[in-house]
Amino acid sequence: MKLIIRTISFLFITVFLNFSYSETPPIEDYDEISENIFWNHLYPGGGWSLYCGYRFENSLSANEEHLFVIEHIYPIRRMLEFLNCESRRQCRLKKNSKFIRMEADMQNLYPAWQDASVARRNRAYGMVGGESWRFDNCDFERSLKVIEPRPLARGNIARSIFYMHTQYGLPIKKSLVDELKRWNKEDLPSKQEKSRNDRIEDIQGIRNPYIDDPSLIDSI
């Protein structure tokens, strides 16, 4: 019975995601998104960076203290490995439609302070022993292979990764699944995350069902 319930839940999520794509053709040009849509339409009034919670304005030129970039929560490198591409350029030249959609999917894109993004590189998310912050005034801890984001970012990260897993079949390390499920429960969707989900649907025609109903993650 438990297996049947899990199967039905998974099928429901898959149908939901596919339906979302069929309603409005998504914008599938990452360059267009990064140069115009992400900052000017997804965050028209500015916002806060994911890892450190630093405030940014909608015009990047107005951010003199910190430089902000677009962060792929599910990392590009892991996408390339999954698709057997050596580089983003190679995947693009092959016109790999799956990569083009994954690269541009705004459910996987968050604003990040550049220094934190560089410090992350391709490290996995997880918990780091101790409380040795990588930067002043930013709860961002890093070890050789893992970064531990601040508590208020963990749920967003978990829901983004599970979305990419369900939507595109991207793998999640077994050792990370339980941790991400815990993050999802401890850091439930905020008003800002829900509004962001609505804006992405308006812009790109897709929703993250795990933001609408975080309990769906329990069936994964």
Residues in the chain: 220
Give percent of the chain with pLDDT exceeding 70.
Answer: 84
Q: Are strands 138-142 and 133-135 parallel, antiparallel or unpaired?
A: antiparallel
Rounded Cα distance between 92 and 73, Å, is 20
pLDDT at 10 (0 to 100): 46
pLDDT at 122: 85
User: Do residues 86 and 101 make contact, with C-beta atoms less than 8 angstroms apart?
Assistant: no
Residue 98 confidence (pLDDT) above 50 = yes
Q: What is the mean pLDDT of residues 158-170?
A: 98
Phi, psi of 153 (to 5 degrees): -105, -15
**Closest C-alpha among 185, 179, 183, 121 to residue 147:** 121
Mean pLDDT of 165-174: 96
Burial of 123 (0-12, 13-18, 19+ CB in 10 A): middle
Banded pLDDT at 84 (limits 50, 70, 90): very high
Which amino acid is residue 13, in one-letter code?
I
What confidence tens digit (pLDDT) does each residue in 113-140 have? 999 999 998 899 999 987 677 787 889 9
